[in-house]
Amino acid sequence: MKAAVLEEFNKPLNVTDVPDPELTPDGAIVKVEACGICRSDWHGWRGEWTGFLAPLPMVGGHEMSGTVQEVGANVKHVKPGDRVIVPFTCGDGTCQYCQEGKSNECINQEMPGFTYHGGFAEYAHIPTADFNLIPLPDEIPFEQASGMGCRFMTAYHGVLSVGELKPGEWLSVYGSGGVGLSAIQIATAAGANVIAVDVNDAALEFAKNQGAVHTVNSAKDNPVEFIKDITGGGADVSVDALGLNQTIHNSLASVKATGRAVQIGMTPMGDDGQIPINVNDIIANEISYRGSFGMPRSEFPLLLNQVATGKLTPGQLVTETTSLGGIIDVYDKFTRNDIKGTTVITDFTK
Ligand SMILES: [Zn+2]
Ligand SMILES: [Zn+2]
């Protein structure tokens, strides 16, 4: 099969023929129909995030949707022909977290493109298929579904479950990329008022289309002052989708006293998670600083109900489709901070 192989960090991917994945008794082979190219793929390609460093060679790609091709002998619920989404946070289905509906915190977590070969290929093998494959309703096209394996589900969990956002509340969102735009759309559908922050005017225009009621270009204006002014003292909830030193500080400073700051973006190379923050401000203002990672499979039925009935439209965030050979161009755009919307691979032959 064809695959885009990461052989050396920060070097062009090798689009080449590799052996087909091997089926395990609990696993399934999925024919990848669509796979999004995510900022996390770019981080992984650069060899950042020492805790998530992929062993090389690795086939990246963790925003997959596809058709089940073949299932292992122990697989009972999933069958060939099923349309599925693969959440990037795959669980073992048996640990305490998985049992409690928190599979995104599984102690034996597997992540496509990081711990096993992912969706930048014609086929992918998914472990523990009965637990990890999410049935995809017929009315949702593959191209629109792939983002639900990462960005869209991550925003859904971060905004609604971790951020506990309520109708009428103010939400500030730092970063209008994949997660940020998803967060804006989801929060707007939930009845909240969103202020989007980015350094790219085109991305902010896109944010407005997704429902942001105000936007602020942080390269030109002070976003914290802007948000405090608009909201009369601070947002109820803030999401930092980027994980930069500056956005972490600004996101924390944007919430009102007793507000919730949700951290979704991981810090890039060099910081390795080490960012000094003002603990005294967090204490004095009773800020809840909350981490959010992926989404447990238990929340998928709610998300899919909203997408299947058109109340949420992840497909609106897809601006381009490409082939395996086009991944590197998208990585270059991430490097240049020149991203608008999301690109999905639909051609796996070249
Ligand atoms: Zn588990
Ligand atoms: Zn992702």
Query: Is there a contact between 27 and 90 (Cβ–Cβ < 8 Å)?
Result: no
Which two structure tokens, joined as six digits, stand for 24?
A: 């395990």
93 — alpha (psi -120 to 50), left (phi > 0) or beta?
left
- Residues 88/90/96/100 CA torsion (nearest 10 deg): 60
State both tokens at 89: 């946070």
Q: Tell me which ligand sits closest to the C-alpha of residue 105.
A: 1
| Whole-number pLDDT of residue 271 | 66
Same domain, 119 and 241: no
What total of structural domains would you count in the chain? Answer: 2
193 CA distance to ligand 2 centroid (A)?
A: 25
Query: Please, which residues have CB within 8 angstroms of residue 82's CB and are 6 or more apart in sequence?
Result: 67, 68, 133, 135
Q: Are residues 136 and 16 in the same domain?
A: yes
Distance CA 151, CA 260 (A): 20
Tell me how far CA of residue 96 lies from CA of 157, 256, 267, in angstroms.
19, 35, 28
Q: Of 291, 307, 327, which residue constitutes the final position of a domain?
A: 291
Distance between Cα 63 and ligand 2 center (Å)? 6
Please tell me the predicted confidence (pLDDT) of residue 269. Answer: 65
Same domain, 255 and 133: no
* Whether 53 and 165 share a structural domain: no
User: What residue has token string 């992912």?
Assistant: 118
| Co-location of 264 and 181 in the same domain | yes
Ligand with smallest separation from the Cα of 40: 2
Q: Across the strands, what pairs with 12?
A: none
Predicted pLDDT at 340: 80
314 in the same domain as 241: no
Ligand nearest to the CA of 87: 2
CATH number at residue 177: 3.40.50.720
Residue 89: the pLDDT is 93
H or E segment at 123?
strand 123-126
pLDDT one digit per residue (tens) for the chain, 350 residues: 999 999 999 999 999 999 999 999 999 999 999 999 998 999 999 988 777 889 999 999 999 999 999 999 999 999 999 999 999 999 999 999 999 999 999 999 999 999 999 999 999 999 999 999 999 999 999 999 998 999 999 999 999 999 999 999 999 999 999 999 999 999 999 999 999 999 999 999 999 999 999 999 999 999 999 999 999 999 999 999 999 999 999 999 999 999 999 999 998 766 678 899 999 999 999 999 999 999 999 999 999 999 999 999 999 999 999 999 999 999 999 999 888 888 999 999 99
Neighbours of ion ligand 1 (CB under 5 A): 91-92, 95, 98, 106
- 143 Cα–ligand 2 center, Å: 15
Find the 38 Cα to ligand 2 centroid distance in Å. Answer: 5
CATH of the domain at 81: 3.90.180.10
Do 143 and 261 have their domain in common?
no
CA of 92 to the centre of ligand 1 (A): 4
Q: Do residues 212 and 258 share a domain?
A: yes
Q: Are residues 28 and 137 in the same domain?
A: yes
User: What is the residue-wise DSSP string for 283-311?
Assistant: HHTT-EEEE--S--GGGHHHHHHHHHTTS
Concatenated DSSP letters for 185-226? Answer: HHHHHTT-EEEEEES-HHHHHHHHHTT-SEEEETTTS-HHHH
Same domain, 249 and 209: yes
Q: How far is the CA of 232 from the centre of ligand 2 (A)?
A: 34
DSSP 64: E
Q: What is the CA radius of gyration of the chain?
A: 19
Q: At what angle do helices 245-254 and 223-231 cross, to 10 degrees?
A: 20
Cα of 43 to ligand 2 centre, how many Å?
10
Distance 153 CA to ligand 2 centre (A): 10
Q: Report the separation in Å between the CA atom of 39 and the middle of ligand 2, taken as the mean of its atom positions.
A: 6
108 alpha carbon – ligand 1 mean position (Å) = 6
Tell me which residue range forms the domain holding 98: 2-150+295-347
* 191 CA distance to ligand 2 middle (Å): 26
Q: Are strands 58-59 and 2-6 parallel, antiparallel or unpaired?
A: antiparallel
Residue 109 in 3-state DSSP?
coil
Residues in the chain, overall count:
350
**59 - beta bridge partners?**
5
Answering whether pTM is above 0.75, one says: yes
- Closest-approaching ligand to the CA atom of 104: 1
pLDDT of amino acid 52: 80
Element of type H or E holding 345 = strand 342-347
- 199 Cα distance to chain centroid: 20
Are 181 and 319 found together in one domain? no
